[in-house]
Structures are given as C-alpha cells and as structure tokens.
Amino acid sequence: MAQPAAVSLADAFVEFRERKLLEKKKLRELRAKANEKKRTQSFKSHLRRKFVEQARRYLGVPYGKRFHVLDDDKECDCEGCVEAGRQLRDDPSFLDCCALVRKCVHDLREDFGFVLGAGNQAFQFDTLPIRVGSVDDLEPGDLIFFAGEYYSDMADPDRSDKCRKQKHDMVHVEIFVGGETGKAVIGSREKQKWIKEYDTYEFESKSWKLTETFFVKIDTWLNGELKSHCKEHPWHKFLGEKHAKNSLFFVERTED
C-alpha cells in the first residue's frame, strides 16, 4: 500500500516544480514586456494616477478576518461591524496595509513590470531608496511609512491579534493622495474596520507608538526596478533571486 502513496507524492512534487517554473517564466516575460515600454515622465505620471485610482477601488475592503468573531453562531459586535452594519467576517476579501500596496502593484503589473513578493511593509520600504524630508515633497501615489514600537500588551503571545517586532520597526504604510488638506492618504489602519481615505496621515494607533515617519517616493518602482537597497536585508525570498545550480528549481537560461 505504500508504493501508490510514494508515486502520488512524486507526481505532486513534479506538478509543484512545473508550476513554480511556469511562474518564474511568466515573471521574466512580464519584465521583458514592461521594459519595452518607454518610461517617459508622461508614462510615469500616468502610472501614478492609475496606482491611486486602483487603491480607491479597494475602499471598504476590511483589514482582516481574524480580528472579528469567527463563530457563525455568534454575532461580532466590534466597533467595525457595528459601524458597517454588517458582519465584516463574511466579506469575500481582506487587505491590511501592506497587502493593499501589494495588490495595487499586482493589478498594474504589466505597467510596473514586476509583482511584489509577500513581504510586508518593511520589505516594501527597503525596495524604495528615495526618501524626502516633508509631506510637501510627495506626489500622489508615493508612500508614507511608519516606524513604531508595539505597546507591550500587543506582544502578549496569548492574544489572538499579537504583534511581532518588525525589521526597521516598520509597522505601517499608507498611500499618499494629497487631497484638499495636502496630507490625505488611503490606507488600511484599523484592524476591525476597512480601507479608508483619510484627510491626514497623522493619527494615533491603538497598537503602536510612533517613533518616526518616512516620506518615500515610488520613482524606483515607476522605473520598473525592484530590488532591496538594504545591505542588512536582501529579501531574496520575495525578490525571486536566481536559484543555485544544485537547486531543484534551477533552469539553464537559453536564448529564445
């Protein structure tokens, strides 16, 4: 009886490997196609607008399912569900702060020329080296990153919503839109609520104490570039670095 299981496992691995190789091939094709586009200032300005418009399409999407009562026999009476007038746990999709950025880039991958890996806001921060000194220097589509220290009770391992220490202490990210206030952002900042457009990036979190705010340009992404600019964190896992020759996923590159 053991032999069929072994064969099945082998077949599953072959299928997994082929799927991963196909994903890598599609990413190469995506980059090649994007590189054919002339990244003029007009193109990049248009991509900025598309990025913001895409973010607005996700207004109302809840932060995360696990922050609500998941027992179908019980009603979640959290602040978010009461304000929304519905059980947010039943929504079809959820996006936290970094997932919103990742999703928008993924939707526009043919323009950007890449997809962001599953890394969080710290990963995204390390791929964008251009930082400016003031919100006044930002353009719509740029990002605002927040470094902070989690309150001690948020690190309690017994909490269902416990928080772990992040690289660079980077705890949050939002998309700058400017608006009438010149400080407006789109973000997913409230765990029991949903993506909103806020009049200002300035707020006091219930989960962490702010230590520093970073105003970050996305020009690097607009140029079709995605790599880590942090010597401490290369982020190979999320950047799709080449596999070593002894890797099961290594494929000799040939000229097509």
Provide the pLDDT for residue 39: 86
The rounded distance, in Å, linking the Cα atoms of 82 and 149 is 29
DSSP codes of every residue in 72-140: TTS---SHHHHHHTS-GGGSS----HHHHHHHHHHHTHHHHSS---S--HHHHHHT---EESSGGG--T
* Dihedral (Cα; 80, 116, 101, 122), 10-degree rounding: 80
The proportion of the chain whose per-residue pLDDT surpasses 70, expressed as a percent, equals 79
97 within 8 A of 125, measured Cβ to Cβ: no
Q: Is the pTM of this model over 0.85?
A: no
Average pLDDT of the chain, as a whole number: 86
Provide the pLDDT for residue 73: 86
Locate the domains of the chain by residue range: 37-59+96-239
Bridge partners, 131 (sequence order): 216
Q: Tens of pLDDT along 4-21?
A: 555 576 677 667 677 767
Q: Tens of pLDDT along 161-200?
A: 567 789 999 999 999 999 999 999 999 999 999 999 999 9
φ/ψ of 237, rounded to 5, equals -60, -35
Nearest to 98 by CA among 169, 189, 29: 189
Provide the pLDDT for residue 19: 73
Provide the pLDDT for residue 40: 92
Question: Which pLDDT band holds residue 240 (cuts at 50, 70, 90)?
Answer: low
Nearest to 114 by CA among 238, 198, 249: 238
Nearest-10 crossing angle of helices 97-107, 41-56? 130
146 within 8 A of 210, measured Cβ to Cβ: yes
The rounded distance, in Å, linking the Cα atoms of 60 and 188 is 9
Q: Average the pLDDT over 97-122 and give the result.
A: 94
Q: Tens of pLDDT along 151-171?
A: 876 655 555 556 778 999 999
Checking if the pLDDT of 226 tops 90, the result is yes
Nearest to 175 by CA among 65, 48, 42: 48
Q: Tens of pLDDT along 116-144?
A: 988 999 999 999 999 999 999 999 999 99
Provide the pLDDT for residue 117: 85
